[in-house]
């Protein structure tokens, strides 16, 4: 039984007892309706549309939504990064196959314990990933993606974190493996990532031992057996002929191995004029611009990952209650919430503003500083918590704050006027900049605050 | 006891005239050259010490006013274990405007790792490795090619240096602008390891520490030791740096002399080196060194004996002295022994002890002069006990070694088959008469 209902360019397809959302255009995609459908079928060659649907769906706080099956209709040239993250390639006639997969996933989702609270953001990502693996009943297979910071994208899990936080994926999965929830399978690759920003995109080059210059010239050394003269090839080369003539004894070098050999080579730095044989191999990170010895690159193994029996048990029975209540760092300061919780509250607040409009504001605080790229992940986390705490101190008890990363925070300011909000913004900018500068050496931090009113039926742009 | 009485009775009966007839070889050539002449020169040298001290201070001032860059080069193979000690010793020098260049000539030990590490940590300026061995000369030439100093010091990697060694070996260039090369004073570091090393300690003191003061003073100094020698960079360029060895240190000294440069020995520029501790190894080393006399003095640089544009008395006499004392007298010694056996066969048991006694007396006299000149005479006091053994070491061990080397080189050109040099280089050197 196939029935197609088209509402505002977006089709809803009824097939057997399933309802599929059929998306062809970005404008037509209504995220509000995802909850009511059993699966999403994307029929477009637009990567942007795929990204949007995947992001909205997979990062949702509700398990019913972030585990929703997503299919894509096969197009020639559809990038791997899209195909690998969908639940199947299809064409518009294969509803039976889509229905079968959807049923399997849906059945699996129903078996899950729908955990809402996690001891940390990171554990939340791990838990959701395990849920995803359980419902899909296959391994987590990372695939090469030149747009990804790590050069590899992990289906589902990569979407849970911002681009600059991708390194955390490796840490999260490692934790899952250490705790016995996940298991490493076949090794697929090795990646080397920048120790400052965790990017795998860098340019490796030979640099001068003395000045780090990259303008190097390498030449063979020539040893003339007869007179024992040895020097770079240019010493022997002539301006007008191709002959090699020994500068010491003026003999022509005719035959390698008989008259001469090339025992080695030498680099000449055109910047500082120094000579050396072993240049330093450095990398220039494309993302953060850091230049450093390649020995500072961190090596990570990219492996296929499977869910263990212990992992399956966890997603079926949920976390023991005390686990997520005792460790949560976000609970240390009242009013600082996890992102998922914050989004939930924001939705509730949107509904509330229908009766009390214009008094609630959403604020986005951006902390931009190149120096932050140079600090470790742990330090970033400490700074993130510190900044969130600081931000909360300028707000009332009933206002809410969440930290997306060390560079991005959201807050919800209740019962406020635009004038007061402007003053508050200035105060936050001034104090957060002072805080970062006092914590990060040579900091050139720029803090910006953007606010918007929270209104009923209007999407808050994050 | 009876033999001793008979011995003295015999020599009392023989008298001075006949004694001179019997020991003419020792009296005229050995005692005359190595005791009388050396004592006389050292005495004159000692008389001029105050004048020299004044000139030295002025030259030292000139050096420090100019503060030229000095390139310290150490070419070698499998010297990894020695490099760090060498670098440490160089870092302690009083003169610090230096660059250190180490060339690894195809080592098959850990030398490349050590060298690169030192370079990376800034302890040396350039480390160059040749994956294929080219020989000592080519390694030295490569280091020279990348040297930027006004002066170049050629060092052996197994040497270490007194703190003032670099400064003291450079100062003579400021004493006389015609000096093209200065030889340092090479002493034995591992003299206490074995008898073989002890005897070499005495030999080095005699032939280098004191012997070269004399030859340098007389203007016939003929070999700047490869272990520690300084050169003017422009002079090296003019003479075309090092040619294929073995014996390349003596060869380059002759080339400098032939180009009109003066050569100087500086006794205060002190370098300590490790010598072979076994006689078998020493034998091989001396065979190699001795062959160079035939190869370089009698073949390659034979023109020193003939008039040419840069002909000099000093160079000529230096060659004559070298060839005469090491080659001609070496042959003569066998004739002398034959003469003794044939003409004095019935008294041979009185002649041999007397001969040994005379050499020992001369040895102790030389040792006395060494003690007077050496800055380490306290440490070297133990060597007195070994002076009697020097007679056997010099008269037999070194002489037989030299003789064998001369014969092999003269008739079979053995130096061109010496594994000290790679075959590809030796073949070309032989083919082209180097």
> Are B272 and B157 in the same domain?
yes
Phi, psi of A113, rounded to the nearest 5 degrees: -90, 120
Confidence of residue B125 (pLDDT cuts 50, 70, 90): very high
Q: Tell me the nearest-neighbour CA distance from A242 into chain B, angstroms.
A: 22
Please give the pLDDT value at position A329. Answer: 46
pLDDT of residue A328: 44
pLDDT at A264: 93
Q: Number of structural domains, chain B?
A: 2
- Whole-number pLDDT of residue A2: 56
In this structure, the dihedral spanned by the alpha carbons of residues B215, B221, B222 and B227, taken in order and rounded to 10 degrees, is 100
Are B89 and B228 in a shared domain? yes
- pLDDT tens readout for residues B149-169: 999 999 999 999 999 999 999
User: CB burial class (10 A; 0-12, 13-18, 19+) of residue B331?
Assistant: exposed
Q: Which residues of chain A have pLDDT under 50?
A: 324-331
Kindly state whether residues A227 and A162 are assigned to the same domain: no
pLDDT digits (tens, 9 = 90+) for B197-217: 999 999 999 999 889 999 999
A85, A175: one domain: yes
Residue A208 lies in a domain: no
Q: Domain for residue B304, yes or no?
A: no
Average the pLDDT over B372-401 and give the result.
90
Pairing state between β A336-337 and A400-405: parallel
User: In terms of domains, do A150 and A14 share one?
Assistant: yes
B132 lies in the same domain as B263: yes
Query: Which has more confidence, A391 or B69?
Result: B69
B398: in domain:
yes
Of B126, B138, B431, the CB nearest to A276: B126
Q: Do residues B75 and B205 share a domain?
A: yes
In a domain, B302, yes or no: no
Inter-CA distances, A401 with A277, A344, A435, Å: 56, 13, 17
Size of interface A-B (CB pairs under 8 A): 88
Q: Flag whether A297 is in a domain.
A: no
Tell me, what's the ipTM? 0.82
Q: What's the whole-number mean pLDDT along residues B391-418?
A: 89
In a domain, A285, yes or no: no
Cβ of A225 within 8 Å of Cβ of B427? The answer is: yes
Three-state DSSP string of A51-103: HHHHHHHHCCCCHHHHCCCEEEECCCCCCHHHHCCCCCEECCCCHHHHHHHHH
B65 shares a domain with B174:
yes
The region of weakest confidence among A389-398, B53-62, B268-277 is: A389-398
- CATH number of B109's domain: 3.90.550.10
The answer to the question of residue A193 being in a domain is no
CB contact under 8 Å between B145 and A232, yes or no, is yes
- Which of B390, B387, B165, B172 has its CA nearest to residue B273? B165
- Whether residues A367 and A319 fall in one domain: no
Asked if B141 and B248 sit in the same domain, the reply is yes
Look up the domain containing B37 and give its range. Answer: 2-42+318-428
Q: Does A345 touch chain B (CB under 8 A)?
A: no
Residue B284 included in any domain: no
**Which of B 86-125 lie inside 8 A of A, CB atoms?**
106, 116, 119-120
Residue B104 near residue B128 (C-beta atoms within 8 A): yes
- CB atoms under 10 Å from CB of B15, counted, come to 10
Q: Are residues B37 and B113 in the same domain?
A: no
Whether residues B134 and B232 share a domain: the answer is: yes
Supply the pLDDT for residue A407: 84
The answer to whether the CB atoms of B141 and A230 lie below 8 A apart is: yes
Buried b (16+ CB within 10 A) or exposed e, A39-53: bbbbbbeeeebbbbb
Question: Does B173 share its domain with B208?
Answer: yes
Predicted confidence (pLDDT) at residue B362 exceeds the cutoff of 80: yes
Judged by a CB distance cut-off of 8 A, whether residue A231 touches chain B is yes
Q: Which domain holds residue A408?
A: 328-453
User: Which candidate, A334, A302, A12, places its Cα nearest to that of A141?
Assistant: A302
- pLDDT at position A330 is 45
Q: Would you say residue A195 lies in a domain? A: no
Cβ–Cβ gap B133/A221 under 8 Å? no
Give the total number of structural domains in chain A: 3
Residue B176 has pLDDT above 90, yes or no: yes
Residues B370 and B418 in one domain: yes
Asked if residue B283 belongs to a domain, the reply is: no
Q: Which of A208, A210, A211, A230 to mutate to test the interface with B (most CBs of B within 10 A)?
A: A230
A394 shares a domain with A438: yes
Do residues B30 and B75 both lie within one domain?
A: no
Q: What phi and psi, each to the nearest 5 degrees, are found at residue A399? A: -75, 155
pLDDT tops 90 at residue B298: no
pLDDT of residue A327: 44
């Amino acid at each position: 039984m196939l029935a197609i209902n088209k509402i505002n360019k977006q089709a809803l397809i009824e097939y057997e007892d399933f309802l599929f959302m059929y998306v062809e255009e970005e404008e037509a995609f209504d995220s509000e309706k995802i909850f009511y459908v059993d699966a999403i079928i994307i029929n477009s060659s637009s990567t942007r549309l795929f990204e949007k649907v995947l992001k909205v769906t997979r990062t949702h706080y509700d398990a019913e939504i972030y585990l929703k099956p997503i299919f894509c209709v096969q197009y020639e040239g559809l990038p791997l990064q899209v195909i690998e993250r969908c639940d199947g390639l299809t064409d518009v006639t294969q509803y039976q196959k889509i229905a079968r997969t959807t049923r399997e996933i849906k059945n699996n989702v129903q078996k899950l314990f729908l955990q809402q609270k996690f001891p940390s953001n990171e554990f939340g990502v791990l838990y959701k990933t395990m849920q995803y693996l359980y419902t899909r009943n296959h391994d987590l297979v990372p695939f090469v993606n030149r747009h990804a910071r790590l050069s590899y994208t992990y289906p589902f899990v990569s979407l849970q974190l911002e681009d600059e936080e991708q390194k955390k994926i490796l840490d999260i999965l490692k934790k899952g493996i250490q705790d016995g929830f996940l298991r490493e399978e076949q090794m697929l690759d090795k990646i080397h990532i920048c120790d400052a920003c965790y990017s795998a995109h860098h340019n490796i080059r030979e640099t001068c031992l003395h000045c780090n210059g990259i303008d190097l010239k390498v030449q063979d050394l020539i040893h003339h057996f007869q007179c024992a003269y040895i020097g770079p090839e240019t010493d022997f080369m002539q301006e007008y002929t191709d002959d090699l003539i020994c500068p010491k004894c003026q003999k022509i070098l005719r035959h390698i191995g008989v008259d001469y050999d090339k025992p080695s080579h030498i680099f000449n730095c055109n910047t500082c004029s120094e000579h050396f044989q072993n240049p330093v191999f450095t990398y220039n990170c494309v993302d953060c611009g850091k230049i450093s010895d390649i020995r500072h690159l961190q090596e990570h193994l990219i492996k296929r990952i499977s869910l263990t029996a212990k992992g399956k048990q966890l997603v079926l029975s949920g976390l023991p209650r005390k686990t997520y209540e005792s460790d949560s760092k976000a609970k240390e300061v009242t009013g600082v919430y996890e992102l998922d919780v914050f989004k939930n509250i924001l939705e509730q607040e949107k509904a509330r503003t229908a009766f009390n409009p214009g008094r609630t504001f959403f604020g986005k605080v951006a902390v931009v500083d190149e120096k932050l790229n140079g600090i470790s992940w742990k330090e970033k986390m400490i700074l993130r918590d510190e900044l969130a705490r600081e931000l909360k101190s300028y707000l009332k008890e009933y206002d809410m704050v969440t930290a997306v990363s060390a560079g991005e925070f959201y807050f919800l300011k209740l019962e406020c006027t635009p004038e007061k909000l402007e003053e508050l913004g200035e105060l936050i900018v001034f104090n957060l900049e002072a805080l970062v500068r006092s914590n990060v050496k040579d900091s050139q931090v720029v803090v910006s605050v953007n606010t918007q009113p929270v209104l009923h039926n209007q999407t808050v742009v994050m | 006891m009876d033999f001793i009485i008979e011995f003295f009775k015999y020599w009392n009966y023989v008298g001075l005239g006949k004694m001179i007839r019997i020991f003419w070889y020792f009296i005229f050539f050995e005692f005359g050259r190595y005791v009388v002449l050396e004592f006389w020169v050292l005495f004159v040298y000692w008389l001029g010490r105050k004048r020299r001290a004044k000139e030295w201070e002025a030259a030292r001032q000139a050096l420090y006013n100019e503060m030229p860059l000095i390139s310290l080069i150490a070419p070698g193979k499998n010297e990894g274990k020695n490099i760090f000690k060498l670098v440490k010793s160089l870092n302690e020098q009083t003169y610090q405007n230096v660059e250190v260049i180490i060339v690894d000539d195809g080592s098959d030990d850990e030398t490349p790792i050590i060298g690169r590490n030192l370079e990376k940590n800034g302890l040396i300026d350039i480390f160059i490795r040749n994956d294929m061995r080219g020989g000592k000369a080519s390694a030295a030439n490569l280091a020279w090619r990348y040297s930027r100093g006004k002066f170049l010091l050629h060092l052996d990697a197994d040497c270490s240096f007194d703190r003032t060694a670099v400064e003291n070996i450079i100062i003579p260039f400021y004493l006389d602008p015609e000096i093209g090369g200065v030889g340092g004073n090479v002493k034995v570091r591992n003299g206490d390891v074995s008898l073989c090393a002890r005897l070499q300690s005495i030999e080095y003191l005699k032939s280098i520490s004191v012997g070269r003061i004399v030859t340098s003073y007389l203007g016939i100094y003929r070999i700047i030791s490869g272990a520690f020698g300084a050169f003017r960079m422009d002079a090296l360029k003019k003479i075309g740096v090092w040619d294929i060895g073995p014996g390349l240190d003596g060869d380059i000294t002759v080339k400098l002399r032939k180009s009109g440069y003066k050569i100087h020995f500086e006794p205060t520029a002190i370098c300590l080196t490790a010598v072979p501790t076994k006689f078998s190894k020493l034998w091989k080393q001396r065979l190699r060194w001795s062959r160079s006399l035939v190869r370089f003095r009698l073949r390659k640089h034979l023109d020193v004996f003939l008039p040419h544009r840069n002909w000099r008395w000093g160079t000529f006499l230096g060659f004559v002295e070298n060839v005469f004392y090491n080659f001609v007298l070496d042959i003569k010694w066998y004739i002398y022994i034959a003469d003794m056996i044939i003409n004095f066969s019935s008294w041979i048991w009185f002649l041999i002890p007397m001969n040994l006694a005379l050499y020992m007396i001369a040895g102790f006299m030389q040792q006395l002069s060494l003690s007077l000149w050496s800055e380490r005479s306290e440490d070297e006091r133990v060597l007195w006990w070994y002076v009697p053994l020097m007679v056997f070491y010099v008269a037999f061990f070194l002489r037989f070694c030299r003789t064998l080397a001369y014969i092999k080189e003269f008739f079979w050109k053995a130096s061109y088959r010496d594994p000290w040099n790679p075959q590809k280089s030796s073949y070309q050197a032989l083919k082209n008469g180097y």
